Structure 1
């Protein structure tokens, strides 16, 4: 049996179903086209993956088509692929999302995915820089398990059943050799090269990974849009970061995931490519006594507020 022998209820095999969308003939006629630049490829890849994750809830941008084998493709998804194909033929651009094979001449698949991650994160830094700057008395994190607040004096509060409880002082944010409180965070450089140098500083005893340091700063700290942009761009320089691709978080929201693997663990973060917001962070132990243990945080929203509750 070949990869296209699976027949649908309407008598159409998988290959026929895959090509059963508006624009398929034009795509076949278009043939081989010139490839995108790495930056443009990462951008359209993120946009296509986000669109597929939400099954076409937003309109496509010209210049991309994702060709991913889909069994029993729904009418909505066929329509989405058709729209993307029309744009591809019009502009002479075809991209392949999550095909599992490295483009010719780019080295191993692992190397290609790592390179894609750096380009994707570099592009996300641009998105982060365009977000509006706001302020407030507290930084609020609304997660799947409840709400938490950090004051400018680093007091930490949680809300349970509508009542606020002070839980002491929030530890300073670790970033390379620095331990930053709220004021120190505001004084931290936003230059991505300097931020990368800090992240790559030899770790101190019990330091969390550079990836974890960056993710923590991007989720539970009041980092400005300019600082967030710098941190994302610095993450793009971490060689161990690899692109996973389009996924959904535990609440069903679509985003693009990147991973950072260490000797005994893997950290994965899901990013909304439209807003640069981190949707979810998952940490998995891959070796040692905790092997197989998984923890994750799902961020429903983060931002400034002037009151608790």
Structure 2
């Protein structure tokens, strides 16, 4: 990233660069806005995410964002930046082009970025809570590799060659120190703070990561809309969770990606922001004896049903 320093040592080059930077709609209003009250972290995170998305879509190379000088942006992007700038002035956003920082009262740029994952997952929790409640004898999961069913007595079924076969008992769902069957899952708290506490409990032998636990509840379990909402919000409180932005899954469906990094693993989930459905989950071992091993699931549909097949 290029740092612009408007000092006398830069002479006319510095002045010309400054002029180029301010050559976009809304620049005059921004320059004359003066001191404004700092924006909340939540709102700041939203604005930063929008600005970065606008710049990022201008082009990428080898997965690295190609940030263009504002004077080289297309008319459409310049207009968008202008609109965001006007919104910034109206709501109290102050940015410092010279050093890329914000005032102490709003936190650093990196802190605001870290908060965007929590903001997104909080929004998704609202979407999840708005979904209609349903019930059924079985929980059906259809992926790109097949279809499975779980009964209320935790019997596990798979579909092979158009026929349904019972494959024994499914292991209980792990939530921190708890192992829950279908009935126990229905009695689990839906409070996001308590769920976060459970997910952050000290790991047990053979326990899966808290992010993995959360994703399993959101895909492979008959979780109610309230429970799914609580789980999404709890995920936003996990240390190490990061918003990646808009992506496409292996089937071409668009969604928003969130990842969770631990010492030995990396989990990435793609969420449909309109429905809160999990589209895809990828788990990668980044260290240890299983380093490089990847588990990948693309979910076509999940939900209740009263019959097999």
- In 2, the alpha carbon distance for the partners of 1:37 and 1:306 equals 47
In structure 2, distance between residues paired with 1:179 and 1:129: 24
Q: Cα distance, 1:44 vs. partner? A: 7.5
Q: Is the 8 A contact 1:142 1:299 kept in 2?
A: yes
What TM-score, normalized by structure 2, do the two folds share? Answer: 0.73
What are the superposed Cα offsets for residues 244-281 of structure 1, whole Å, 9 maximum, x if unpaired? Answer: 22221111112111111111111111111121111111
Name the CA shift for 1:133/1:247 in 2 (closer, same or farther; >3 Å): same
Q: Deviations over 1:39-89 (max 9, x none)?
A: 44666788x69xxxxxxxxxxxxxx982335249xxxxx898689668647
Structure 1 residue runs without a partner (length 5+)? 3-23, 50-63, 73-77, 96-100
Residues 134 and 42 from structure 1, CA distance in 2 versus in 1: closer, same or farther, beyond 3 angstroms?
farther
Q: Secondary structure at the match of 2:268?
A: strand
| Distance in 2 of aligned mates of 1:184 and 1:288 | 33
Q: 1:132 to 1:30 in 2, by over 3 A?
A: farther
Shift of 1:37: 4.1
Q: What CA distance in whole angstroms lies between the structure 2 residues aligned with 1:116 and 1:282?
A: 21
CA distance in 1, matches of 2:139, 2:47: 32
1:66 match: secondary structure? helix
Report the CA distance shift for 1:89/1:151 in structure 2 as closer, same or farther (over 3 A): same
CA distance in 2, matches of 1:234, 1:195: 6
Structure 1 segment 208-287 matched on structure 2, within 5 A: 208-287=208-287
- Name the CA shift for 1:257/1:196 in 2 (closer, same or farther; >3 Å): same
* Aligned 8 A contact 1:176 1:200 in 2: yes
Q: Which residue matches 2:16? A: none
Say if 2:26 and 2:83, in contact at 8 Å, map to a contact too: no
* Residue 108 of structure 2: aligned partner: 107
Residues 200 and 92 (structure 1), Cα distance of their counterparts in 2 relative to 1, 3 Å cut: closer
Determine which structure has more spread, i.e. the larger CA radius of gyration.
Answer: 2
Q: Map residues 52-67 of structure 1 onto 2, 5 A cutoff.
A: 66-67=54-55
**Cross-structure match for 1:171:** 171
- Specify whether residues 175 and 65 from structure 1 end up closer, same or farther in structure 2 by C-alpha distance, changes over 3 A only: closer
Higher mean alpha-carbon deviation, 193-202 vs 168-177, is at 193-202
**Contact conserved, 2:247 with 2:254, CA < 8 A, in 1?**
yes
Alpha-carbon distance in 2 for matches of 1:235, 1:286: 21
Hey, what does 1:122 align to over in structure 2? 122
3-state SS of paired residue (1:223): coil
SS in 2 for 1:67: helix
Contact 2:25 2:79 in 1 (8 A): no
